[in-house]
Amino acid sequence: MFRIGSIFIPVSDVEQSLNWYTTYFHAQEIGRWEGGIGICLPDGSTQLGLIQTTSTQPATFKDASGQAHVYFNIICEDIQLAYQSFEQAGLIATPLHDFGGMSCFDVRDPDGHTISLISEELTSPFHRDRVKDLQTKGNN
pTM attached to this predicted model = 0.84
Q: Looking at residue 2, what is its pLDDT? A: 81
Sequence-separated (6 or more) residues with CB below 8 Å from residue 31: 37, 38
Residue type, 138: G
Considering only residues 125 and 60, tell me which one the structure prediction assigns the higher pLDDT: 60
Give the closest residue to 39 by CA, choosing from 55, 52, 28, 26: 28
- Whole-number percent of the chain with pLDDT over 90: 60
Overall average pLDDT of the 27-46 stretch = 94
Task: Indicate whether 1 pLDDT > 80.
Answer: no
Summarize pLDDT for 79-106 with one digit per residue, the tens.
Answer: 999 999 999 999 988 999 988 788 999 9
Residue ranges of domains in the chain: 1-55, 58-140
Whether residue 127 is predicted with pLDDT greater than 60 in this model: the reply is no
Structural class in CATH, domain 58-140: alpha beta
Say if residues 129 and 122 touch (Cβ distance below 8 Å). yes
DSSP string of 37-75, one letter each residue: EEEE-SSSS-EEEEEE-SS----EEE-TTS-EEES-EEE
CATH of 1-55, one of 3.10.180.10, 3.40.640.10, 1.20.1250.20, 3.30.70.2190: 3.10.180.10
User: How far is Cα 12 from Cα 110, in angstroms, rounded to an integer?
Assistant: 9
Q: How confident is the model at residue 6 (pLDDT cuts 50, 70, 90)?
A: very high
Q: State pLDDT tens for residues 8-25.
A: 999 999 999 999 999 999
User: With the CA atoms of 31, 75, 13 and 63 taken in that order, what torsion angle do they form, in degrees rounded to the nearest 10?
Assistant: 120
